[in-house]
Amino acid sequence: MSQPLTVLGNITAEQFLREYWQKKPLLVRQAIPEIATFLEPKDIQSLALEDTVTARLIQQTGKNHDQWQVKSSPLEENDFKNLPPYWTLLVQAVDHYSMDLAELWKKFHFIPQWRRDDIMVSYAPKGGSVGKHFDFYDVFLVQGFGHRRWQLGQRCNENTQFIEGQPLKLLSEMEISFDEILAPGDLLYVPPGLSHYGVAEDECLTYSFGFRMPNLAGVIDRVSDQFADNDYLKNPIQDIVREHPNAIGEITAQERQSIKKHLLEKLMTADHFDHAIMALMSEPKYPDNIPESDEIELEDLNDLLDTDYSIQLEPASRLLYLAQENMLKFWANGEPLNIAVETAPILKKIADGDIIYFSEEVFSTSTMLEDILPLINDAILMLTSSEEE
């Protein structure tokens, strides 16, 4: 049994996953108090104007503030002039631009890295909101600057009806079962499908730590691409001879079952399926956020040995591994990596969220540095010094 976690209100990860995860909400006061000092509203507005940032400006208009307008990035300074009283700015993947914020993923170490979506920040003046809605993913809502009132309601699904004629998927009603105001540092876990409604009590920032699973349509599409490129699988499947050669216009149940059997056997045994899943899950959601690195040479990396420099995962990149046949196979940003056996333990630690310090003498062979070098130059890994940390 693991230790109780402050971020979960002093319950263990096992208890949270057993009793709350994808089942019911959890409110934790002062779960992450340090987040209150990370960013201010002006920081989020400035970030929203950057070319590579994904953002949405949501306005409530009309006599009763019940008409909604949405403008997606790129946003300009003029977009923030003459705004109505109630509006909200949503900025995606702020963890790609703030190392302090990216470090907070470690608070949720009990959820696999590949489930992470991004950390979205919502900025709103008093009364601002994005309406009554629900999401298909798990989210930890953490209050930063200011205060926000949250109401939770009924469970929803793909058959839930939305208000017609609005640019957002909004619910007309909620059966309120939870009504609380979150102060800086407070956390609210909301499971998938649970309706929720947040309204700014004053000028505020709310951080949304999102976790999601892939959808089957995306998995099928990616697997089909892998299978379509395999010459062996383009051969006809083994034929079935009918006992009674009649009704030539019919495809029999036996024939359909045989085709299905061949397909499922290949799905269960072919390496293509694993490759498709790993490539899909390691793809960066916001590739434009990956910075362009200043390329370094192997001798530059050698010069860093025994210094205060370290390497860790670039926040906008993704690095995942598969344990298979007593080996570790790695994928980064949608592509497989060719990594030597001796380098694998280091890369595994980085994928698991660790920072590797050059002063620890972990790079015992030139092959290890040769493996790491292109990952740094491709901004899969980032170099930092103790001063930058």
Same domain, residue pair 237 and 143: no
Same domain, residue pair 245 and 127: no
Sheet holding 319-324, edge to edge: 319-324, 327-332, 335-337
Same domain, residue pair 22 and 133: yes
Backbone torsions φ then ψ of 322, nearest 5 degrees: -125, 125
Q: In sequence order, what are the beta bridge partners of 178?
A: 152
Residues shown for the chain? 389
At residue 359 the predicted structure's pLDDT band, cuts being 50, 70 and 90, is confident
More confident residue, 382 or 235: 382
Position 196 pLDDT exceeds 80? yes
Domain that includes residue 346, residue range: 288-385
pLDDT the model gives residue 326: 85
Same domain, residue pair 55 and 125: yes
User: What are the pLDDT digits (tens) for 240-279?
Assistant: 777 777 788 888 888 888 888 888 888 877 687 888 889 9
Mean pLDDT confidence for 366-377: 94
CATH of the domain at 135: 2.60.120.650
Question: Considering its fold, how many domains does the chain have in total?
Answer: 3
The 3-state secondary structure of 47-72 reads HHCCCCCCEEEEEEECCCCCEEEEEE
User: What are the pLDDT digits (tens) for 340-356?
Assistant: 999 999 999 999 999 99
pLDDT the model gives residue 387: 64
This prediction's pTM: 0.90
Same domain, residue pair 107 and 189: yes
Residue that finishes a domain, picked among 211, 239, 260: 211
